[in-house]
Amino acid sequence: MAESANKNPGSRMAQTLAALWQKNQPRVLERLAAIETAVEAALDGTLTAEQRSLAEATAHKLAGSLGMYGFAKGTELARALEVHLAEDGPDPRILIVLVSELRGTLYPDAPATGNATGRAADRATDR
């Protein structure tokens, strides 16, 4: 198994990419949380220009890397977040949908409850 993987660059690449994806989890989660925090602020009406700009840059970084690991849908959602966050006064209802979908795409088995997406979704529902 290992021998055939070494002879096949695609297979070796897939294994290494999977390992890199695991290694980079803390950073991905940190970036996702940073966007979620900005979305929470947008829902509260307290999103500052600086927060928005940082969240836009964070979404840009995710858009540029997720597809590399095979998450094409993740790149698409992060790019949509980047575009919306680039706008003055982004619509928080769109942002919450996008960030919820993004978390669901990357972590389909993890409940959103307890993280910023869960809180923001609850808040959006309450409005």
Q: Is 12 in the site for other proteins (CB under 8 A)?
A: yes
Q: Is 9 in the site for other proteins (CB under 8 A)?
A: yes
Q: Is 26 in the site for other proteins (CB under 8 A)?
A: no
Q: CA distances (Å), 87 to each of 16, 25, 49, 83, in order? A: 37, 29, 10, 7
Q: Is 11 in the site for other proteins (CB under 8 A)?
A: no
Q: Minimum distance from CB of 16 to other proteins (Å)?
A: 6
Q: Minimum distance from CB of 99 to other proteins (Å)?
A: 18
User: Given the rule CB under 8 A, which residues bind other proteins?
Assistant: 9-10, 12-13, 16-17, 20, 24, 27, 57, 60-61, 63-68, 72, 75, 79
